[in-house]
Amino acid sequence: MKRVVITGMGTVNPLGNNVDVFWENIKENKNGLSYLKDMKDGNIFDDFEVKVVGAVKDFDCLEYIEKKESKRIDRFTQFAIACSMEALKKSSFNIKDIDPFRAGVIIGCGIGGLELTQQEHAKYLEKGPNRVSVFYVPMMIANMAAGTVAMKTGFKGDNFATVTACSSATHAIGEAFRKIKDGYLDVCLCGGTESCITEFALGGFNNMKALSKSDDVERASIPFDKERSGFVLGEGCGMLLLEEYEHAIARGATIYAEVAGYGATCDAYHMTSPSPDGEAASKAMKIAYEEAGVLPEQVDYINAHGTSTGLNDKYETNAIKLALGAEAATKVKINSTKSMIGHLLGAAGAVEAIATVLQMNNSVLHRTLGYKVYDEECDLDYCVEGNIEKEVNVALSNSLGFGGHNATLCIKSVK
Active site residues per annotation = 166, 305, 343
Element (H, E) at 239: strand 236-244
Residue 383: burial class (beta carbons within 10 Å; 0-12, 13-18, 19+): buried
Amino acid at 184: Y
Sign of the C-alpha dihedral computed for residues 148, 149, 153 and 155 taken in this order: negative
Closest to 14 measured CA to CA, from 34, 36, 43: 34
C-alpha to C-alpha distance for 323 and 281, rounded to whole angstroms: 8
C-alpha to C-alpha distance for 195 and 254, rounded to whole angstroms: 30
C-alpha to C-alpha distance for 230 and 207, rounded to whole angstroms: 12
C-alpha to C-alpha distance for 272 and 142, rounded to whole angstroms: 21
**What is the length of the chain?**
415
Closest to 49 measured CA to CA, from 204, 241, 155: 204
Report the interhelical angle of 279-291 vs 310-324 (nearest 10°).
Answer: 50
HEC letters along 350-401? HHHHHHHHHHHHHCEECCCCCCCCCECCECCECCCCCCEECCCCEEEEEEEE
Name the 3-class secondary structure at 293.
Answer: coil
Quickly list H helices, 292-337.
Answer: 310-324, 326-331
| End-to-end alpha carbon distance in the chain | 22
C-alpha to C-alpha distance for 298 and 385, rounded to whole angstroms: 23
- Contact by Cβ (8 Å): 228, 313: yes
To 5 degrees, how large is the angle CA 367–CA 327–CA 371?
25
- Contact by Cβ (8 Å): 377, 314: yes
Sign of the C-alpha dihedral computed for residues 314, 319, 320 and 324 taken in this order: positive
CB atoms within 10 A of CB 314: 18
